[in-house]
A and B are shown apart, each in its own frame.
Chain A
Amino acid sequence: MNDSPVKNEPTIEQTAVLLIDIASALMSSGAHTMRIIQNVSRMAETFGYDLDLSVFQLSIMMTIINKDDPCKLLTQVKKIKPLHLNFTIVSELSALSWDTYDKHLPYDKIIPEFHKIISRKRISGWLVLLLVALANAAFCRLFKGDFMAMGLVFFATLAGFSVRQGMIKKQVNHLVTFTTSAFVASLLTGLGYVFHLGHTPEIAMASSVLYLIPGVPLINSFLDILQGHILTGIARLVNAFSLIVCIAIGLFCSMLILGLEKL
Chain B
Amino acid sequence: MTPEMFYLVIVDGLMAAIAAVGFAVISNPSRKAVLVSALLAAIGHSLRFFMIKSGLDITLASFVAASFIGFLSIFFAKIIHCPAEVFSYPSLLPMIPGLFAYRTILSMIKFMQSTEVVKTQGYMLDFFHNGMTALFILLALVVGVSLPVLFFPKLSFSVTRKY
Contacts and interface: CB of A to CB of B under 8 A. Distances in A.
Given A35-B157, A134-B22, A139 B98 contact: yes
Interface residues of B, number: 54
Chain B interface mostly helix, strand, loop or mixed?
helix
Interface string A136-170: 10110111000000000000000000000000000
B106 interface: yes
B75 interface: no
Interface stretch (A17-25, A60-68, A171-179, A202-210): A202-210
Contacts, number: 158
Contacts of A122: 28
B102 A206 contact: yes
Given A32-B85, A102-B161, A216 B138 contact: no
A219 interface: yes
Contacts of A206: 98-99, 101-103
Interface in B130-163: 138-139, 141-143, 145-146, 149-150, 153, 157-158, 160-163
B146 A222 contact: yes
Contacts of A118: none
B21 A135 contact: yes
Interface string B11-51: 01001101111110111111001000000000001000000
**How large, as a class, is the contact surface on chain A?**
35 or more
Contacts of A207: 98-99
B56 to A, nearest CB: 17
Interface stretch (A50-58, A74-82, A83-91): A83-91
B26 A222 contact: no
A141 B20 CA distance: 13
Interface in A197-253: 202-203, 205-207, 209-211, 213, 215-216, 218-219, 222-223, 226-227, 244, 248, 251-252
A138 B27 contact: no
Contacts of B142: 218-219, 222-223
12 contacts: A86-B27, A87-B86, A88-B28, A91-B33, A123-B28, A135-B18, A138-B15, A139-B15, A210-B96, A223-B149, A226-B143, A255-B106
Interface of A: 30-32, 34-35, 38, 85-88, 90-91, 94-95, 97-99, 102-103, 122-123, 127-128, 131-136, 138-139, 141-143, 202-203, 205-207, 209-211, 213, 215-216, 218-219, 222-223, 226-227, 244, 248, 251-252, 255-256, 261
